[in-house]
Amino acid sequence: MFLSDRQTEIVDMAKANGRVFVEDLAAHFSVTPQTIRKDLNDLCDAQVLTRVHGGALFPSGTENVKYEARRQIAAGEKQSIGLAAAALIPNNASLFINIGTTTEAVGEALINHRELMVITNNINVANRLRLLPSMEVVIAGGVVRASDGGIVGEAAVDFIRQFKVDYAVIGASAIDQDGALLDYDFREVKVAQAIIANARHVILVADSTKFERTAPVRIAQLSQVNTFITDHCEIDSIQDLCRENGVRLIETDRRLQSMQSAE
């Protein structure tokens, strides 16, 4: 696709900010909103940007990365986060584990636990934990998403609502600076919301790259979780939200540094 000067600048702005808005672009370029909408439609048709209501998103920061690629992003950090989350979950507990590569890392870290009841809409988690005789694995019914083995949809939501568990382990595709937890698939979000509503203690697991991304669908607010585990968080607004709402913030990088200092 040949880009006009204006379209090239729009792409640069989207790349810098993660998203652009029709009204802001119209004012910036002194053109009509209709002109900007045509530019955005052309850019989205060419898969340069991703169209959302009121504007467009830059794919590298906002598009849902393919499952195998996501597994490789911050893999070491996810492993540390998984171990930290598993350390909070006692034996003989019941828990939800949601879709996501970081939640899968938590599942991997639970292999030495005993007498857990694990309810999940993540086929990968179920397939791993079903091999352990000390686990009772319950899998939600619903539509199986081909891209990552996640089970989504209203049937999964209804299934989750049958339970009230001790812990929930959830992830997010993006975390906004105002504490909004975001995702791409509204069907997945509905399941995540049901999981949050039916757990006594909610553990959010997300590596720090999620602070750099955005997504269009709101899961919940950070204030709705009890514990947030990440590798590190340098964002003041997120730290403030955790303090103000009694959310325990665990930074695995700092924990590792403390252990190394103690040695």
Q: Write down the pLDDT at residue 261.
A: 52
Q: Write down the pLDDT at residue 61.
A: 47
The Cα–Cα gap between 43 and 45 comes to: 6
- Domain extents for the chain? 5-62, 68-262
In this prediction, residues 220-239 reach a mean pLDDT of 96
In this prediction, residues 189-206 reach a mean pLDDT of 97
Pairing state of beta strands 165-170 and 94-97?
parallel
Q: Write down the pLDDT at residue 218.
A: 94
Q: pLDDT tens, 98-113?
A: 999 999 999 999 999 9
pLDDT: which is higher, 184 or 85: 85
Q: What is the mean pLDDT of the chain?
A: 89
In this prediction, residues 161-178 reach a mean pLDDT of 96
For tokens 């004012």, name the residue: 27
Q: Which CATH architecture has domain 5-62?
A: Orthogonal Bundle (1.10)
Counting residues of the chain whose pLDDT is more than 70, the rounded percentage is 90
Q: Could you please report the per-residue DSSP string of 29-69?
A: HT--HHHHHHHHHHHHHTTSSEEETTEEE-HHHHS---HHH
The Cα–Cα gap between 237 and 176 comes to: 10
Q: Write down the pLDDT at residue 63.
A: 44
The Cα–Cα gap between 125 and 176 comes to: 27
Q: Bridge-partner residues for 55, per DSSP?
A: 21, 52
CATH number of 68-262: 3.40.50.1360
Is pLDDT of 15 > 70? yes
Range with the largest mean pLDDT of 17-21, 60-64, 96-100: 96-100
The Cα–Cα gap between 257 and 263 comes to: 10
Q: pLDDT tens, 122-153?
A: 999 999 999 999 899 999 999 898 778 899 99
Q: Write down the pLDDT at residue 135.
A: 94
In this prediction, residues 250-259 reach a mean pLDDT of 74
Q: Write down the pLDDT at residue 248.
A: 98
The Cα–Cα gap between 222 and 211 comes to: 13
Q: Write down the pLDDT at residue 59.
A: 65
- 10 Å Cβ neighbour count for 137? 19
**DSSP reduced 3-state for 263:** coil
The Cα–Cα gap between 115 and 15 comes to: 48
Dihedral of the CA atoms 129, 190, 148, 101 (nearest 10)? -60
